[in-house]
Amino acid sequence: MAEAFAAVEIIAAKRDRHELTDAQIDWVVDAYTRGVVADEQMSALLMAILLNGMNAREISRWTDAMINSGERMSWSALSVPTVDKHSTGGVGDKITLPLAPLVAACGAAVPQLSGRGLGHTGGTLDKLEAIPGWRASLSNAEMLKVLQDVGAVICAAGAGLAPADKKLYALRDVTATVEAIPLIASSIMSKKIAEGTSALILDVKTGSGAFMSDPKRAEELARTMVSLGTRAGVKTRALVTAMDVPLGLTAGNALEVRESVEVLAGGGPSDVVELTILLAREMLDAAGVKNAKDPAIALKDGSAMDKWRAMISAQGGNPDAPLPIAREKEIVKAEKSGTISSMAALKVGVSAWRLGAGRERQGEKVQAGAGIEIHAKPGEKIEEGAPLFTLHTDEPERFARAKEALKGAVVISESGAIAPHLPLVVARIDSHDLT
């Protein structure tokens, strides 16, 4: 059967700044998934999209074409509304771990499809796999059973969900086209819309440790994704939140699980608790849960912890098992006394990655116990020689490069001055804010 288009015509159209038609978009995404369009041709098209952009109609159609490459999930068998959260990732961003069971404890169901880390940003599945026995891969039937029994599930997306995105994501990673807003937005939203949730809260990170370091670009991405969700009938909102300083006091897989359990036990670092409660309230409101329990109460009364334990157990994990601890540790001390003025999230993230907490290419194994503990944050006083960071790894030869990444990460001010930093919530966007 003859193909409807030639890939070269579509590449040339976008190269010359023309709009792609619906038929061209449908064909090129499908033909690439089928293997008719070669990697080098799709690479050229992705670069043309990065350089010349797409309008709202093109992005929406590209997203639909990726959704249509696979299955759509349905949660109509559940008796409570569904809501999910997606974060664009950062350093120490373990929010999904306490958030999913917390929202379930307050009356909504959370079908959370998560990913693995690449580069300096950690992956939710890598963190949870630090728990002995926990399984990331569940069938749709297993997901539904956990949702019915517990109310929250965190797992990997199956191969049937937006397979076009899986292929395109791998290609974007090796062709320097990751940063194109139309491609980021359609990648995230194709999976989230296909996942079948009725409401979605987006946590778009900005600042040095985020993938979108410029707040204006982060807001543009947030608006694009809210628009895509709204068009698809998913009640979508976005918060643009700060990632100029690491979230919490840990970066690394088992270390972040431990901190998440502290939050569920009613403690934990204030910034992690604040953002978890804020996102939980947005999720419950967007899902339309009537008379929802207040998330702040669910963290204090043990109901969120009960859901966490049930969720981990339902996926084969042992919530009581000791978490892995790295074989080696080294302390980085403050070089002078004063007030911590700033802490660069990116440098901390790169250091944790070099210790073995992250991977350089897809498919690499990560160390469960590797990472960084942070002993003081901006605004806090520190004495010369006091611990600033504790570095953890199984391979001591990694310490030198990890410490190199931390050079200049922390500024200590003798006068007590604190560098300007982003507010926790930089912007909030829902469908009413779209023009």
Predicted pLDDT at 378: 96
Q: Are residues 231 and 111 in the same domain?
A: yes
Is this model's pTM higher than 0.85 or not?
A: yes
Answer yes or no: do 252 and 109 share one domain: yes
What is the pLDDT averaged over residues 158-178?
89
Encode pLDDT of 318-374 as tens digits.
999 999 999 999 999 999 999 999 999 999 999 999 999 988 776 778 999 999 999
- Strand locations in 295-344, DSSP E? 328-333, 338-343
Q: Do 203 and 295 share a structural domain?
A: yes
* Section 11-29 average pLDDT: 98
pLDDT bucket at 118, cuts 50 / 70 / 90: low
Q: Is it the case that residue 33 has pLDDT exceeding 70?
A: yes
Lowest mean pLDDT of 91-100, 157-166, 325-334, 379-388, name the range: 157-166
The contacts of residue 211 (CB under 8 Å, 6+ apart) are: 88, 89, 90, 121, 178, 179, 205
Q: In which band, very low, low, confident or very high, does the pLDDT at 122 lie, cut at 50, 70 and 90?
A: confident
Are the beta carbons of 380 and 339 closer than 8 angstroms?
yes
Task: Please determine, for residue 178, whether its predicted confidence score (pLDDT) is greater than 80.
Answer: yes
Q: For position 377, which CATH number holds?
A: 3.90.1170.30
CB half-sphere exposure, 232, CA atoms < 13 A: 31
Q: Which domain, by its residues, includes 35?
A: 7-53
Same domain, 258 and 372: no
Q: Is residue 171 part of a domain?
A: no
Instruction: Place 116 in a pLDDT band, splitting at 50, 70 and 90.
Output: confident
How confident is the model at residue 435, as a pLDDT? 66
**Residues with active-site annotation:** 86, 165, 172, 187, 191
- Residue 77 within any structural domain of the chain: no
Q: Are residues 309 and 406 in the same domain?
A: no
Three-state secondary-structure class, residue 19 = coil
State pLDDT tens for residues 394-403: 999 999 999 9
Residue 392 predicted with pLDDT over 80: yes
- Mean pLDDT value of segment 190-215: 95
Q: Judge whether 225 lies within some domain.
A: yes
For residue 24, what is the domain's CATH number? 1.20.970.10
Higher-scoring residue by pLDDT: 362, 213 = 213
Specify if 429 maps to a domain.
yes
How far apart are alpha carbons 424 and 408 in whole angstroms?
23
Question: Are 199 and 147 within one domain?
Answer: yes
Give the DSSP H/E element, type plus range, for residue 377.
none
Q: Which of 86, 116, 90 has the alpha carbon at shortest distance from 349? A: 90
| pLDDT at position 280 over 80 | yes
Ordered DSSP codes for 318-330? -TTSPPP--SEEE
pLDDT band at 54 (very low <50, low <70, confident <90, very high): very high
**Binning pLDDT at 50, 70 and 90, where does residue 130 land?**
very high
pLDDT of residue 226: 98
Report the alpha-carbon angle 347-349-351, nearest 5: 70
- Give the pLDDT of residue 223: 97
Number of domains in the chain: 3
- Does residue 166 form part of some domain? no
pLDDT of residue 153: 97
